Structure 1
């Protein structure tokens, strides 16, 4: 028997691989997911022995359906349950909002059906262009913290800007301020020395879904891509800017990094706080005491309607993708989108094409130089279809544009962490602020138009003349696009 096993070890392994592959393929088919994605998984399982199973293990698990991210402790708290009732709008408020938004009231109703996404009215908003301005504001707010500091980041490094942040956190924790910090284990890089210092100072911190070899894991996990900062439940930040020197533009030239963030004061901080606590409950694996001090009332007179939309394997629906889809489909004048990674699903690319062919001004801004070879060429594979539909496509040439924004009709805009790609729609934990406000939307539109001054516009005729080798690279990377 041992001799037989020894002589036929590779045959046995191959047979075992395909037995598991057939089982995995059957599971994928029964999920009835997107046919393109289904075929991509099955193709990988069949063509790439062993590797296909690894890819399926990391990418093929549908965590949203499996419900392995159980975060009920926070939602069951009476204080949190009361918040939902507090944000229920009266008929007169809904009528005023309906008159202002017209067709875009569908967005409010879509997300209002999710109890964790109430629309809030009383907010002050500040759009922040680039990391230096963000950290100047954030550090000042952190230094004035009186009760708690909550931070949640995909990338946190103890380089120059990261050390400056951690110094403030340690100082505030030493003063008795409650400091809670969550960072993604793959995206972040913090030395043991820094971790010991934070522990000694009283900073509570946890890595999101720790992995054994984060440097080799790359993106082959369900990662927390959110960037959240909350100070005393009164001031909050959300957007595309992580904590790393790459974002701060210490150097000039090709290293220039363009990004967008949002500072919020007002009612929208309460749902933002809920989403932070949901993550904290998961990473700390312990019940966090929910007190009213985490949800203080903030006196804001101005009316700026905001919804905080979160999505990920822990949500029943792809909230952010659905919101973007409805926003495009209800557009009447224009749609301006900025994203560093454009690897859309069929719903989004079709809605952009239809909007452009219907006569709307549809513009897409992406980087010319990307930080991901595969994402860049996968993105390029979609551009010809857009150009044929008269979507205006621009590539940012000043550096790398990492902003994740969209503005529609001077009425609706969104700033957050979600890219227009499969990973943000289906795999990563993301969070966006959805804004229903003319002033903010026009400001974001003007920023978009300013960025076009540092961009090149593609034309269909020129784009079609790219080399066959470029098209081959695009096709290869696009084959993997549902899995990226």
Structure 2
């Protein structure tokens, strides 16, 4: 009976969300962004923040077009639409110039994309992360998890990382956050790609040259299910525990585990202001409803919840006390923090944190705050649906 009820609820949510999405598309969603801004971090690293897919994709394509030695491209989703075709053409053109081009994409996430789109000339070396582990590896927990990362490294001089997948929809209709990194910190993303390529036994292997320098202000944290290593979760827990003034968190899907939720509530009890921005209606409606199961406890504790309107906010960012920040690919849910291949940049810099907080404040102008009164007055049937869906939390 429970399973039948859950199936009915999920089906109803998907239908109603599809209708709302179509209606929103016809009336034209409101999406405002901030222009790219560059900040010098540490001794020799420059970090540029993007909140517009149009700006980001233009600079990524320009970097590929200017590549002279090597291009490392990895994305969870690459749509076979106009934007995806531009990236494919740029990668092939770089290979034609003699550039060493490597491409990684997730097989499961791109099942809806025509297989012919991912057929590249032999001079472009492609790794398709498999949908299922081969042979008896399906029984190996180390072989589960998707490649949810989004990385571009060009000539070991510039690297891009963040929440943006590749596609026309993401260019103009989604609010996301991505970084461009130049300087010594590029090594972290270069090495992340190299390790993933070599770990998956792709040939030919990429050489690992080590790092000539180490910038303590910038660090990449990589979740690697194959090695049962999940440092992104630990990064969040440690940073939240250090908070003394405020935490601003943007999450596409907010389904925290017990420890992260407790850390946030403990921070609130010691007087830390906490604001969480998430989509009111995301592209995964079940995730939205699982998130709702945490609203009551957070609102009771004084956590302020803001729901982004008229567009999908897909960013995975946080700032703490105006001096610490993270931008990356990991969502606040089990799949990202203890399941998928993910990568988040941890940056200790007041100037970058200040800029990201200005971006956060700008995003709040397109959001509405959920009040405790509104939440308490929701329909009884809504509360019943939330309770029936609660056992699905460990799956997401």
- TM over 0.5, yes or no? yes
Conservation of the 8 A alpha-carbon contact between 2:127 and 2:202: no
- Matched residue, 2:151: 228
- Tell me the residue number matched to 1:239: 162
User: Structure 1, unaligned stretches of length 5 or more?
Assistant: 1-43, 49-118, 213-219, 250-255
- Give the alignment's TM-score, normalised by structure 1: 0.68
Cα deviation digits, residues 204-232 of structure 1 (max 9, x gap): 111112349xxxxxxx9510100010001
Q: Take 1:477 and 1:203, find their aligned partners in 2: how far apart are those partners? A: 44
Alignment of 1:174 with 2:91, yes or no, is no
- Mark the runs of 5 or more structure 2 residues left unpaired by the alignment: 5-40, 134-142
User: Which entry has the higher C-alpha Rg, 1 or 2?
Assistant: 1
User: Residue 416 in 1 paired to residue 328 in 2?
Assistant: yes
- For 1:341, which of 235, 253, 259 is the aligned residue? 253
Cα distance, 1:179 vs structure 2: 0.4
2:198–2:206 contact (8 Å) kept in structure 1 = no
Residues 1:384 and 2:301 are matched in the alignment = no
Structure 2 CA distance for aligned equivalents of residues 448 and 203 of structure 1: 39
Residue 285 of structure 1: SS of its match in structure 2? coil
- Relative to its length, the structure with more helix (as a share) is 1
Conserved 8 A contact 1:392-1:457: yes
Name the CA shift for 1:186/1:270 in 2 (closer, same or farther; >3 Å): same
Q: 1:157 aligns with which of 79, 99, 105?
A: 79
1:284 shift after superposition: 4.5
The equivalent of 1:207 in structure 2 is 128
Alignment CA distance shift 1:304-1:169 (3 Å):
same
Report the Cα distance in structure 1 between the residues aligned to 2:206 and 2:356, rounded to whole angstroms: 38
The equivalent of 2:205 in structure 1 is 288
Pairwise CA distance, 1:436: 0.4
Shift of 1:285: 3.4
Note if contact 1:237-1:262 (Cα within 8 Å) is conserved in structure 2. yes
Aligned residues: 349
Superposition TM-score, scaled by structure 2 size: 0.83
Residue of 41, 49, 66 corresponding to 1:127: 49
- Separation in 2 of the partners of 1:120 and 1:285? 35
Q: Residues 224 and 429 of structure 1 are in contact (CA less than 8 Å); yes or no, is this contact kept in structure 2?
A: yes
Aligned to 2:219: 307
- In structure 2, relative to structure 1, the CA distance for the partners of 1:319 and 1:135 (3 Å cut) is same
Q: CA RMSD in A?
A: 2.4
Task: Give the structure 1 partner of residue 191 of structure 2.
Answer: 274
Out of 326, 345, 367, the residue aligned to residue 455 of structure 1 is: 367
Deviations 1:435-464 (A, max 9, x none): 100100000001001111110101112101
- 2: CA distance between counterparts of 1:359 and 1:191? 52
Q: Tell me what 1:259 maps to.
A: 176
The question of whether the paired residues in 1 share the 8 Å contact of 2:194 and 2:208 is answered with no
